[in-house]
Amino acid sequence: MTAGMGQARKRSEPRTLRRGVLCTLAAVGMWTVGIAGMAPAAVAADVQSKQWYLKAMGAEDIWKSVTGEGIKVAVIDTGVNPSTPSLRGQVLKGFDASESKGEATDDYTGHGTTMAELIAGTGKGGGLQGLAPGAKIIPMRISDTERQNEQAVNAHDSEDAIRAAADSDAQIISMSFGSEFASVQELEAVKYAESKGKLFFASAGNNAEKGNKLEYPASYPQVVGVAAIDRNGRVGDYSQHGESVDIAAPGNDIPGWCDENFKSYCNKHGTSAATAIASASAALIWSAHPDWTANQVLRVMFDSAARPEGSKKGTLSNYLGHGVVRPGAHINRGLGKPGDPNLSPLTNKKTTASPAPSAPASSQAPKGGSESDAVVTGSSKSTDDGGQLGLIIGIGAAVVIAVGAFAVIRKRRSA
């Protein structure tokens, strides 16, 4: 997966075998909001009205209890601009693993900033409203294929960023990037993050119609692979499926920054946004239970995920994994049990460490930076504007999943 090996790394917008069969595709459920076009044109000024999934997930009711306060999310991406109205005061000291021009707060495409806003944006100034607005963001910048082709970069930025995130105060790692190439160094970094008690989400990928090859880091055993659904609960045609999918989240028709100029938002789709929303869901649950481990937060996410009527516990979908995230089902209704704090729900193996989720102030800051709890106030790149399924994502839904959409787990992932 390293740049030095010429391996393409993609932003995910548009293992040993865990399951013995591939399943037929259907949908998760019908949502109570209408369908809009997918054209990547600039959205209206009221971008929050385009965030259809917030209503579907019952975000307002969740925020009456928790908003993600006390939780930090390391966003491994193209950088995060802390100067957008929605992210002012939300971004902590980060790390530029790419070693390219700029620093962690210089987002060279707008992609990383979008992910950060979807997680922890405050919605101020008409910007994106994050699902976990009480959380904080620690940016970890890496390079994509285009940047690798344009300038010299660190050939091991992915694994360096993962290790820096593992050593930071972040409880959650969110990585909306992927590559068809696995690497020993990256896998070791992922294992290191697990040993530090981190909960790691990564995008399953957007190439379902172009070979549907496994992507990494989502396909490593210790990482939660995230697929994408639309507002009708149907898995996106682009959303990769198979053994790497652990859970699904909204990913279609999600607003995001059009480019690195941060002038306007565009409608987009992909497992990138789904990964950010899944990470924010974890932040909400962890905020409600700050003494839990990553294993317990993830187990509750799996147990409370929206599943088709009649599907049995202990089954997985190749398209949805354990189902669609719905943090409100746990926060407001108590669904899901935390279980063994030291047993991974991904591998069914004991984890090597289960530290408390909130690291002490003396914990190691991201490599190359100062203490991570110092809020970044600006960027060197300025901007001009400052019963069925029951409650599928917090509201009523009718199930339309085919019986074959879930299959009994034949094999589990092993490290």
Is 167 a residue of the active site? no
SS3 94: coil
pLDDT in tens, 40-89: 333 334 899 999 999 999 999 999 999 999 999 999 999 999 999 999 99
Q: Tell whether 414 is covered by a domain.
A: no
Q: Tell whether 265 is covered by a domain.
A: yes
DSSP per residue, 277-337? HHHHHHHHHHHH-TT--HHHHHHHHHHHSB--TTPPTTEEBTTTBT-B--HHHHHTT--S-
Using a cut of 0.85, tell me whether the model's pTM lies above it.
no
- Catalytic residue (choose from 183, 244, 272, 354): 272
Q: Tell whether 272 is covered by a domain.
A: yes
Which secondary structure element, helix H or strand E, spans residue 56, and what is its range?
A: helix 52-56
Angstrom distance (rounded) from CA 293 to CA 361 = 18
Is 107 a residue of the active site? no
Q: b or e along 108-130 (b: 16 or more beta carbons within 10 Å of the residue's beta carbon)? A: bbbbbbbbbbbbbbbbbeebbbb
pLDDT in tens, 334-361: 999 999 999 999 999 999 654 444 433 3
In this structure, what is the dihedral angle of CA atoms 377, 274, 54, 398, given to the nearest 10 degrees? -170
Is 111 a residue of the active site? yes
pLDDT in tens, 232-245: 999 999 999 999 99
Counting the structural domains of the chain, the total is 1
Question: CB 185: neighbour CB atoms within 10 A?
Answer: 17
pLDDT in tens, 197-254: 999 999 999 999 999 999 999 999 999 999 999 999 999 999 999 999 999 999 999 9
Backbone angles phi, psi at 195, to 5 degrees: -65, -20
Angstrom distance (rounded) from CA 269 to CA 257 = 12
Q: Tell whether 415 is covered by a domain.
A: no
Q: Tell whether 303 is covered by a domain.
A: yes
- Catalytic residue (choose from 12, 77, 106, 303): 77
Angstrom distance (rounded) from CA 42 to CA 340 = 46
User: C-alpha distances in angstroms, 21 versus 18, 243, 315, 411?
Assistant: 9, 9, 12, 10
Please identify which residue in the block is written with the tokens 């896998």: 187
Residue 35 has pLDDT above 60, yes or no: no
Q: Tell whether 149 is covered by a domain.
A: yes
Q: Tell whether 413 is covered by a domain.
A: no
Q: Tell whether 124 is covered by a domain.
A: yes
Domain containing residue 60: 3-408
Query: Any idea what the CATH number is for the domain that residue 383 is in?
Result: 3.40.50.200
Tokens of 218: 């989502």
pLDDT at 28: 41
- Catalytic residue (choose from 98, 111, 143, 287): 111
Angstrom distance (rounded) from CA 331 to CA 301 = 11
